Homo-oligomer: A and B are copies of this chain.
């Protein structure tokens, strides 16, 4: 039996454990779930990042392909955007673990830490950037706007989708509408409310200033 089938079995086991224990599951736990011991995992995946990476790729490829397809759909732009939003939300709704891996692929990784967008999300951002660049006439600022918006939209949907998944404040279609409305400038178009300014939170007096002394 070649390596591939075993690899798949191990990934399935890892899948189950991460689904059960969260993305911080230990290699020992994964090995136990697979009915084996650690070194085998390391033989197949090199290190923990290798395992998580393979798992992420497996879970993400479908969603990424679906989003890519949605971005290429021959629809009116608003409909296309809604379609993409719905595709993403449906994906993370169907498999919360996918979503966990999307956002937290490497907890505590010292090398690539600090990036706001995990690799899988960067791919999505790049897809959006490409789509905007090739489909929308933005004049001279094309490249800059497309890149900035690709990242921005991805982050927006990530954060909003996260909140939606956690609290489920409304149906998916309603959420899609809310996000599309935001992208469509409804924040700009809405009327002002009669100015009743009431500071709800206590004020913090500190200004941004650096700690230097010791």
Chain B residues, Cβ within 8 Å of A115: 162, 166
Q: Whole-angstrom distance between the alpha carbons of A15 and B15 in the complex?
A: 37
Q: Is the interface of A mostly helix, strand, loop or mixed?
A: helix
Q: Are B199 and A72 neighbours in the complex by a CB distance under 8 Å? A: yes
Q: Are B197 and A134 neighbours in the complex by a CB distance under 8 Å? A: yes
Q: Whole-angstrom distance between the alpha carbons of A161 and B212 in the complex?
A: 26
Residue of B nearest to A63 (CB): B208
Chain B residues, Cβ within 8 Å of A154: 159
**Of residues A130, A152, A185, which shows the largest number of chain B Cβ atoms within 10 Å of its Cβ?**
A152
Min CB distance, A205 to chain B, in Å? 7
Q: A interface, how many residues as a size bin? A: 35 or more
Q: Are B144 and A152 neighbours in the complex by a CB distance under 8 Å? A: no
Q: Whole-angstrom distance between the alpha carbons of A174 and B206 in the complex?
A: 28
Min CB distance, A170 to chain B, in Å? 6
A contacts, CB < 8 Å to B: 8-9, 11-13, 15, 21-24, 58, 61-66, 68, 72, 77-78, 81, 91, 94-95, 98-100, 103-104, 107-110, 113-117, 121, 125, 127, 130, 132, 134-138, 141, 144-145, 147-149, 151-164, 166, 169-170, 174-175, 178-179, 181-193, 195-201, 203-214
A-B contacts, 21 of them at CB < 8 A, read A8-B211, A15-B211, A21-B110, A62-B206, A62-B207, A68-B201, A77-B188, A77-B192, A94-B208, A115-B166, A116-B162, A136-B191, A137-B190, A141-B178, A145-B182, A145-B186, A148-B175, A151-B162, A152-B179, A155-B155, A155-B158
